[in-house]
Amino acid sequence: MTGPRASATVVTDTTDAADAVSPTTVLIADDDEVTRSGLRTLLAMQPGIAVVGEAADGIEAVERARRLRPDVVLMDVRMPRLDGIEATRQLLAGPADPPKVVVITTFENDDYVTAALSAGASGFVLKRLPVPKIAEAVRVVAAGEAILFPAALRQMVTTRPRESAEALPRAALTGREEEVLRLMATGRSNPDIAESCGVSLETVKTHVGNVLTKLGAQNRTHAVVIAYETGLVVPGVTG
């Protein structure tokens, strides 16, 4: 599971999630048995991670996630019977307190990944990443934050046909909220945004919450996707 390392920005306000008393529980959904087996074995060796189940397709992923209630589902997007996009959508529309979803993919420039992020996945990781990096992503997402590959996400979204901003409900973002959204699009963490804007961390959290509400986004990754797709954020422009 190792190979060339990809550059990612981990967006987190949690400094030591791995030291939590209870391990972060994970369900692995991938139609390739070798991939599932390898991930299960290697993730089980990572501190603070417990793999509680596997699924070979999207239908199994939804059924087993609802039964096993993992903290995080590592979700492949290209699976038989039900793909990872619809599986993500069903999981997040289900009972209260659904698991977080992290897309795991071979190719970062993949329309399936973008669609899964739009469906509510908290981020994505590449299968070629070293397993400790995948485990770190799992812990961060379980703590309620997001995993962003800013350059790859920007490339994925901006190569798709752009939607009209008029298709969105009037977001009516304030100037400060637009600034925060642009910084989110570069992968900045809340503390980084607070420092850049010269405001408190609590103020940034309030701005982020307002951005998500006004854009109708499920999480900050989804907000960035919406921002790029509608032109609310222009690639290369951060202020």
In this predicted model, what pLDDT tens digit does every residue of 56-75 receive, in sequence order?
999 999 999 999 999 999 99
Q: What is the pLDDT of residue 12?
A: 44
pLDDT tens readout for residues 148-203 = 655 566 666 655 555 544 445 446 888 899 889 888 887 777 888 899 899 998 99
* Cα separations in angstroms, 19 against 14, 23, 49, 143: 11, 8, 10, 12
The yes-or-no verdict on residue 20 having pLDDT over 50 is no
pTM over 0.85, yes/no: no
Q: Which residues, other chains included, contact 66 with Cβ-Cβ below 8 Å and sequence gap of 6+?
A: 91, 94, 95
The stretch 135-155 carries a mean pLDDT of 73
pLDDT value at residue 122: 85
In terms of Cβ atoms closer than 10 Å to its own Cβ (0-12, 13-18, 19+), residue 156 is: buried
Q: What is the pLDDT of residues 87-127, one digit of tens each?
A: 999 998 877 788 999 989 887 666 777 788 888 888 888 88
Query: What's the angle, vertex CA 143, arms to CA 137 and CA 149, rounded to 5?
Result: 35
- Average pLDDT along the chain: 79
123-126: strand order across its sheet: 9-11, 146-148, 123-126, 100-105, 72-75, 24-29, 49-55
